Amino acid sequence: MEKFISHTGTGVPLRRSNVDTDQIIPAVYLKRVTRSGFEDGLFSAWRSDPEFVLNKDEFKGGTVLVAGPEFGTGSSREHAVWALQNYGFKAVISSRFADIFRGNSLKGGLLTVILPQEAVEAIWQAIEVAPSTAITVDLETRTVTYNDVSVPFELDDYTRWRLMEGLDDIGLTLKHTDSIDAFESKRASYKPTTLPIRI
Amino acid sequence: MGKTLAEKIWDDHIVRQAEGEPDLLYIDLQLVHEVTSAQAFDGLRLAGRKVRRPDLTIATEDHNTPTLDILKPIADPVSKLQIDTLRNNAKEFGIRIHSLGDADQGVVHVVGPQLGITQPGMTIVCGDSHTSTHGAFGAIAFGIGTSEVEHVLATQTLPSRRPKTMAINVEGTLKTGVTAKDIILAIIAQIGTGGGQGYIIEYRGSAIRELSMEGRMTVCNMSIEAGARAGLIAPDQKTFDYILGKPHAPEDFAAAQSYWETLFTDSDAKFDREITLDANTLEPFVTWGTNPGQGLPLNASVPNPADIKDSEERGAAERALEYMGLTAGTPLKKIAIDTVFLGSCTNGRIEDLRAAASVVEGKKIAPKLRMLVVPGSERVRQQAMKEGLDKVFLDFGAEWRNAGCSMCLGMNPDQLAVGERSASTSNRNFEGRQGKGGRTHLVSPLVAAATAIRGTLSSPADL
C-alpha cells in the first residue's frame, strides 16, 4: 500500500446524503477480476447528467471528495473504494461513513475523514465559491486545512501509523502466527469444518 | 458485571490483544463468492501465500449467475470470466465450491445455514454485507471487503475493533399477516440507516423468540440496512432443532449444545444502547423511498417532504420522491407495480416461498405484471418442487427460476428497466439497485404475493 502522509488537492462537493455503494458503483460494474479500471462505473447513474458535479469543468481534477452524511452505506464491495481511487480521489470527507466502507477505505489507503457537518458545510461553501481552493488533508497533524481554516479530525493512532507507513495488514498479522497456532490448538472439536464434505 | 451475548462470543475469539491495536479475532468460517474474491486470491498468489484453513472456507456462485439456462455457457463473457475465475481459484487453493447445477449452489447466506455449518457461537465472515444473516443462530457474522477476504484466507483471523452493543427489544405478538420482514423494516425506519453504526445489535423480546429460524434470519439479514455490521439472536431450542440433522451438524451434538446453552446475555450485562418496539401494533411495512429507512405502514400515504423537520432528511425525501416518481399524499396502496420479485438472502427461503404460494394459490396474476420467483438455493428450489410450489407459482402466472441473487442487485440479466417499478422481497431500494432507473419498494413475501394479485401494493388482508 502507498504511504499516506499528507495530500493537497482541490475538492469536489457532493451535496447528497446516503450515497450508497450502489450509487458509488452499480453491481453491473463489479464483474472485473482486477483492482483497476473501475473509474468508468463511478457514480455511473449520475455521470450522464451534465449538471452532475463530476461533469463540471471547475471540479475536474478534484482529488478530495466532500460528501454528505451516511456516505458508503450498503454493500461491502471494496470496488467502491477502488472506483474512487481509480478516478483519482485520495481522500473523502463526510460527517458520517458506513462502517464497512470506512474499514475498506482505510485498508486500501483512501483516507476517509470524519468532520462535523458544520465543517463539511463550510468546505462546500468555500469550494463552490472558489473551486480551485487547495485542501490539505494531513495525517501527521490530523487536520484538514483550506484557506485560513484548519479543522482537526480524529483517527486512532494504530490506523494512522499503518497508513503513514503504508503497511499491509496481512504482513503485520503473520508476525503473530504463533498466537494463531496456539489459539487453533485449543479450539473445540465440535466446531464445524467444511471439509470433508458431508451432504 | 455480566456480558452480553456479543461480548461473550467476541471474547472467545480473541487471538491477540494489545493496547491501542484492534483485537485479532479468530474466524470460524469464511463464505466466498465470485464477486468479491478474485482480487483476494490474486493477492495471495502475488505474495506466494496459501489459504491457511481451506477446511473453514466454502465457496458458491450466486451474485452474477443466470437464473435461466444455468447449464449452458454463460452468455456474458465478463460474467463468465468471473465465475470461471472463482472455479479456478477454488481448485488451485483447495476450497470446496458449489457451482451452478450443484444441490448446494445458491445465495451464500442460504447455503451456510442449510448445510448446518452456521452454528451458534461462531465468527463468520464473507465479502458480502448480508453476512449478518447468520447472526440468527447466535453467531457474530459480518460483511468484509476484499482486502479483508484476503486477510482471512491467509491468516484465518481479522484485526477488528470491538463494536458497541445495542439491544432491540421487540415485545408482544405480531398480528396475522405481519412478519419478520415488517419487524426489521419498522426498526430501520425508526433508527435510520445510520442508527446501528458502530454497534452489534442483539434482537430480543417475545416477538423475536416467537419467530422461526428463517424469520430470525430475515431480521438479522437487514441489520446492515440499519448501519450495523452484525445483528444476532440468542440461540434456543428452535436453533438447536434447526441444526440437528443438517449435513454438518456436530457429531458430538451434546457437547456442542452444552456450549451453545451458555450463549445468552447475562441478566446483569449492560448494553450501550437499548431500543424497544411494540410488536402488537405493527402493520405490514413497505418502503416508499430510495433508502431502507424510508418506510411506512402499508396503510399510510407517501409522505410530504415539507413535513420533515431535518433539512438533510427533507432533501433526501424530495430526491427520493422525484426518483421514485411519486407524489406526496398518494396512498401507498394506490401505487401500481410492474414487477414482483420474490427471492434473495432476505426472503428466498422455503418458508418465504410457502407463505407467498399460500396467497397466490388458485389466483391469477394481475394483467401486465410480471413476477419472478427465485429460490434462495438449489436445495430450496428442490424442496419447493417436492411440495408442488413451482406449479402453484406457474399456474398463477409467475416465472419459476433457478437459484441466485438475481434481481436483488441486478448484476445478472434479471433487471428492472428504466422507470419500471417493483415490489421486492429483497433488502435494498437504492437508486438503480435492481437496474438503472428502476424503482424498488421493499416488502414481505405476503405483501409481494398480494401485490402480484391486485397489481398495486397490497397485503393479503386486502384480497
Residues B130-141 have pLDDT tens digits of 999 999 999 999
Evaluated on CA atoms B78, B381, B217, B115, the torsion sign reads negative
A69 CB neighbours in chain B (<8 A) are 194, 312
A44 CB neighbours in chain B (<8 A) are 436
Of B162, B230, B232, B233, the residue nearest B196 (C-alpha): B230
Print burial letters for A187-199: b (CB count within 10 Å at least 16), e (below 16): eeebbbbbeeeee
Q: What is the pLDDT of residue A138?
A: 98
Q: At what angle do helices B350-360 and B213-221 cross, to 10 degrees?
A: 100
Of B153, B129, B218, B182, the residue nearest B295 (C-alpha): B182
Chain A, 9 to 48: residues with Cβ < 8 Å from chain B are 16-18, 20, 22-23, 26-28, 30-35, 44-45
Give the full edge-to-edge strand order of the sheet including B140-143. Answer: B96-98, B57-60, B29-32, B123-126, B140-143
H/E stretch holding B360 reads: helix B350-360
- Residues A35, B259: Cα–Cα separation, whole Å: 42
| Side-chain half-sphere exposure of B251, counting CA atoms within 13 A | 4
| Side-chain half-sphere exposure of B34, counting CA atoms within 13 A | 31
DSSP tag of B457: S
Q: Where are the alpha helices (DSSP H) in chain A?
A: 21-24, 44-47, 79-87, 99-108, 117-129, 157-165, 169-174, 177-185
pLDDT at B355 over 90: yes
Under 8 Å between Cβ of B433 and B345? no
A78 CB neighbours in chain B (<8 A) are 36, 39, 127, 145-147
At CA B145, angle to CA A67 and CA B83, rounded to 5? 120
Under 8 Å between Cβ of B152 and B56? no
Q: What is the mean pLDDT of chain B?
A: 97
Strand pairing category for B164-171 and B123-126: unpaired
The confidence band for B312, taking pLDDT boundaries of 50, 70 and 90, is confident
Read off the C-alpha cell for B40.
483476494
Under 8 Å between Cβ of B121 and B260? yes
Q: What is the pLDDT of residue A105?
A: 97
Nearest CA in chain A to B49: A170
Q: Do A170 and B430 touch (CB under 8 A)?
A: no
Q: Do A199 and B104 touch (CB under 8 A)?
A: yes
pLDDT tens column, B205-216? 999 999 999 999
- Residues A112, A125: Cα–Cα separation, whole Å: 20
A27 CB neighbours in chain B (<8 A) are 63, 409-411, 433
Q: Where are the alpha helices (DSSP H) in B65-107?
A: 77-93
Tell me whether the omega of the peptide bond preceding residue A196 falls within 30 degrees of 0, making it cis: yes
Amino acid at position A64, single letter? V
Give the three-class secondary structure for B414.
coil
Under 8 Å between Cβ of B138 and B420? no
Under 8 Å between Cβ of B344 and B429? no
The confidence band for B46, taking pLDDT boundaries of 50, 70 and 90, is very high
- Of all residues in chain B, the percent with pLDDT exceeding 90 is 98
Give the three-class secondary structure for B29.
strand
Print burial letters for B296-324: b (CB count within 10 Å at least 16), e (below 16): bbbeebbbebeeeeeebbebbbebbbebb
Task: Give the residue-averaged pLDDT of A160-177.
Answer: 94
Strand pairing category for A134-138 and A6-14: antiparallel
Q: Is B294 on the interface with A (CB under 8 A)?
A: no
Q: Is B124 on the interface with A (CB under 8 A)?
A: no
- Residues B63, B413: Cα–Cα separation, whole Å: 11
Interface probe, candidates B15, B93, B379, B418, chain A, greatest A C-beta count within 10 A? B15
Of B82, B155, B248, nearest to A174 by CB-CB distance is B155
pLDDT tens column, B384-427? 999 999 999 999 999 999 999 999 999 999 999 999 999 999 99
- Residues B282, B264: Cα–Cα separation, whole Å: 26
Region of poorest pLDDT, from A142-151, B36-45, B71-80: B71-80
A18 CB neighbours in chain B (<8 A) are 193, 290-291, 316
Task: Give the residue-averaged pLDDT of B202-226.
Answer: 98
Of B24, B104, B197, nearest to A99 by CB-CB distance is B197
At CA B110, angle to CA B104 and CA B112, rounded to 5? 70
Q: Is B385 on the interface with A (CB under 8 A)?
A: no
At CA A82, angle to CA A77 and CA A86, rounded to 5? 155
- Residues B221, B231: Cα–Cα separation, whole Å: 8
Under 8 Å between Cβ of B229 and B142? yes
Under 8 Å between Cβ of B66 and B74? yes
- Residues A80, A170: Cα–Cα separation, whole Å: 21
- Residues B275, B257: Cα–Cα separation, whole Å: 30
Q: Is B82 on the interface with A (CB under 8 A)?
A: yes
This model's pTM is above 0.95:
yes
B128 CB neighbours in chain A (<8 A) are 75-76
Of B85, B104, B156, nearest to A33 by CB-CB distance is B85
A16 CB neighbours in chain B (<8 A) are 315-316, 319
Place of cell 484465518: B156
A172 CB neighbours in chain B (<8 A) are 159
Interface probe, candidates B409, B412, B416, B429, chain A, greatest A C-beta count within 10 A? B409
Q: What are B120's strand-pairing partners?
A: none
pLDDT at B337 over 90: yes
Give the full edge-to-edge strand order of the sheet including B273-278. Answer: B230-232, B199-204, B164-171, B273-278
Q: Is A181 on the interface with B (CB under 8 A)?
A: no
Q: Do A31 and B85 touch (CB under 8 A)?
A: no
A47: how many CB neighbours lie within 10 A of its CB?
A: 13
Chain A, 89 to 128: residues with Cβ < 8 Å from chain B are 96, 98-100, 103-104, 107-108, 117
- Residues A143, A153: Cα–Cα separation, whole Å: 6
The confidence band for B8, taking pLDDT boundaries of 50, 70 and 90, is very high
pLDDT at B250 over 90: yes
Q: Is A184 on the interface with B (CB under 8 A)?
A: yes
Evaluated on CA atoms A39, A40, A43, A46, the torsion sign reads positive
| Phi, psi angles (nearest 5°) of residue B30 | -120, 130
ipTM over 0.90: yes
- Residues B115, B215: Cα–Cα separation, whole Å: 18
Residues 6+ apart with CB under 8 A from B36: A76, A77, A78, B127, B128, B145, B146, B149
Q: What is the dihedral of CA B58, B345, B316, B279, to 10 degrees?
A: -130
Region of poorest pLDDT, from B72-76, B215-219, B247-251, B281-285: B72-76
Q: Is A180 on the interface with B (CB under 8 A)?
A: yes
pLDDT at A1 over 90: no
Q: Do B58 and A194 touch (CB under 8 A)?
A: yes
Amino acid at position A89, single letter? F
Q: What is the pLDDT of residue B133?
A: 98
CA distance A152 to chain B (A): 20
- Of all residues in chain B, the percent with pLDDT exceeding 70 is 100
Nearest CA in chain B to A82: B146
Under 8 Å between Cβ of B410 and B435? yes
Region of poorest pLDDT, from A45-49, B201-205, B347-351: A45-49
B81 CB neighbours in chain A (<8 A) are 31, 33
DSSP tag of B302: P
Q: What is the pLDDT of residue B461?
A: 97
Interface probe, candidates B26, B430, B434, chain A, greatest A C-beta count within 10 A? B430
Q: What is the mean pLDDT of chain A?
A: 96
pLDDT at B1 over 90: no
Q: Is A140 on the interface with B (CB under 8 A)?
A: no
Of B134, B108, B94, B124, the residue nearest B34 (C-alpha): B108
Task: Give the residue-averaged pLDDT of A83-102.
Answer: 97
Of B16, B64, B247, nearest to A199 by CB-CB distance is B247
Interface probe, candidates A1, A19, A23, A31, chain B, greatest B C-beta count within 10 A? A31
The confidence band for A173, taking pLDDT boundaries of 50, 70 and 90, is very high
Q: Do B145 and A100 touch (CB under 8 A)?
A: yes
Nearest CA in chain A to B406: A27
Task: Give the residue-averaged pLDDT of B164-185.
Answer: 98
Q: Do A199 and B143 touch (CB under 8 A)?
A: no
Interface probe, candidates A14, A33, A187, chain B, greatest B C-beta count within 10 A? A33
Of B31, B71, B269, B67, the residue nearest B153 (C-alpha): B31
Place of cell 458545510: A121
Of B117, B157, B409, nearest to A192 by CB-CB distance is B117
